[in-house]
Structure 1
Amino acid sequence: MEDRSLRMPSDDEIAAINARHLIQTPLRPADLLFVFGTRVDVAERVDAAVRLWRDGLVHWAIVSGGVTPGDISSECEIIKAAMVARGIPAERILEEYRAQNTGENVIFSLPVIDAALGRNAIRSVICLGNSWTARRYPMTLQRHWPEVEKMLVTVDSFATPRALWHTDPEFRRRVLIEWDKIEPYKAKGFIAEWPVG
């Protein structure tokens, strides 16, 4: 079977991905920063979290991510420790350390947020994750927490500019894998359309 992630997308598909998937949102102060766990580009994710904190755009964060095969520390532990080392107070960072995928990041984090802050007190969230996963973070949040306003910040360590993602074989492969998940995940109810409108 053909590996669709290795295809060279058409100009129309590149334009659609740029317009609908690899989106950035305007940022304004948010009630919560939702840091989706990773083992890839951890330093870039922590840099972005610290920048958002120092710029006064967030005053609370949750880091979500479990232990990946072959490791003993959870993504949550590793990312939170790096955020604290860079100056974000540990007591301002909520922890979710079981999630193994984006859906679980949200599903397992909601009770943690509710217990610590009260979900109803949170009106806006900045999602922070990998550039190639892009809008799937807020789409997952939209499926499970539609009431909250969602903003998106994404990071990566590719030297290739984001608009030229399709010219870098590995960047292209990662983007296409995530892009190809959108419609099947919507059909299965894992994610919901976002932005709405």
Structure 2
Amino acid sequence: MIPDDLRADAQLLWDFQRMGHAPRPCSVVVGLGSHDLGVADVAVSLYRGGFAPLLVFTGATSATTRERMPRGEAVHYRERALALGVPGDAVLVETRARNTGENLRFSRELLTARGVDVTSVLLVSKPYEERRAYATALRAWPGVDVVCASSPLALDAYAEEIGDVRLVLDMLVGAVQRLIVYPARGFMAEQDVPPAVADAYRRLRDRGFTGRLVPESV
């Protein structure tokens, strides 16, 4: 459970990240690698629902996933999809990417090499990174229609499922910080960050949830 004195600010960041897109048929489902196997579950659900004929899972490892997913995020996601009954020829993996920009760029290259015509992408991420993923896709994969999706769990239920409240709060803070600082670096398209969201981000940052922040000067 999110502590009561942090809940309002965390909820603001959580709600801001959710794009509210309704799933619709797309060329491909792309699942962004992370510590959360729920991303693979959502991607499989969309595939089973007939929203796309092909899944791409993308991701190497990071400090957050090295112990949880020693074979690499995309590989573990693929294994999950196969265990859930997705046929192997419907799942591609991209195993080099170490950040969201690379996830998208390398997935795009993989699909181009396979001759897959992509006009739209169902982009599956963790719930608190939908807007971050969307903003990155607008820059890294121009010209495609991007539809975001993630687990429908509420904030408290999600934190309980992950089993690490601090990790979730660190990630929430880090995702919003990137929306603030990355557009100027060319990594993301600009997103309007409302003052209330920026204030909540700063309060949580100042409370010590800094584990996923990036340096603000380069």
Instruction: Please report the TM-score for the alignment, with normalisation by the length of structure 1.
Output: 0.77
- Is the Cα–Cα contact under 8 Å of residues 65 and 105 in structure 1 kept in the other structure? yes
> 1:106-138: per-residue Cα shift (whole Å, max 9, x none)?
1222210101134xx211101111111121112
> 1:56-106: per-residue Cα shift (whole Å, max 9, x none)?
111111110113445641111111011012111111112100111111111
CA 1:91/1:21 → structure 2, altered by over 3 Å: closer, same or farther? same
Indicate the percent of aligned positions where both proteins have the same amino acid: 25
C-alpha separation in 2, matches of 1:47 and 1:131: 13
Q: Runs (4+) of structure 1 moved beyond 6 Å?
A: 156-159
Q: In the alignment, which residue of structure 1 is the partner of 2:173?
A: 176
Q: In the alignment, which residue of structure 2 is the partner of 1:4?
A: none
Q: In the alignment, which residue of structure 1 is the partner of 2:111?
A: 113
C-alpha separation in 2, matches of 1:158 and 1:18: 9
Q: In the alignment, which residue of structure 2 is the partner of 1:27?
A: 23
SS in structure 2 at match of 1:134: helix
> 1:157-185: per-residue Cα shift (whole Å, max 9, x none)?
766268xxxxx964444322211111211
C-alpha separation in 1, matches of 2:100 and 2:142: 16
For 1:144, which of 140, 145, 149 is the aligned residue? 140
Q: In the alignment, which residue of structure 1 is the partner of 2:58?
A: 64
Structure 1 residue 20: Cα displacement: 4.3
How many corresponding residue pairs? Answer: 178
The residue correspondences of 1:85-124 to structure 2 (distance < 5 A) are: 85-118=83-116, 121-124=117-120
CA 1:157/1:74 → structure 2, altered by over 3 Å: closer, same or farther? farther
C-alpha separation in 1, matches of 2:8 and 2:57: 36
Letter in 2 for 1:28: R
- Is the Cα–Cα contact under 8 Å of residues 179 and 190 in structure 2 kept in the other structure? no
Q: In the alignment, which residue of structure 2 is the partner of 1:155?
A: 151
SS in structure 2 at match of 1:117: coil
For 1:78, which of 70, 76, 95 is the aligned residue? 76
C-alpha separation in 2, matches of 1:150 and 1:172: 26
C-alpha separation in 2, matches of 1:174 and 1:45: 15
C-alpha separation in 2, matches of 1:117 and 1:92: 14
SS in structure 1 at match of 2:97: coil
Structure 2: 5+ residue stretches without partners: 159-163, 193-218
Letter in 1 for 2:27: D
- Is the Cα–Cα contact under 8 Å of residues 138 and 194 in structure 1 kept in the other structure? no
Structure 1: 5+ residue stretches without partners: 1-6, 163-167
Letter in 1 for 2:61: V
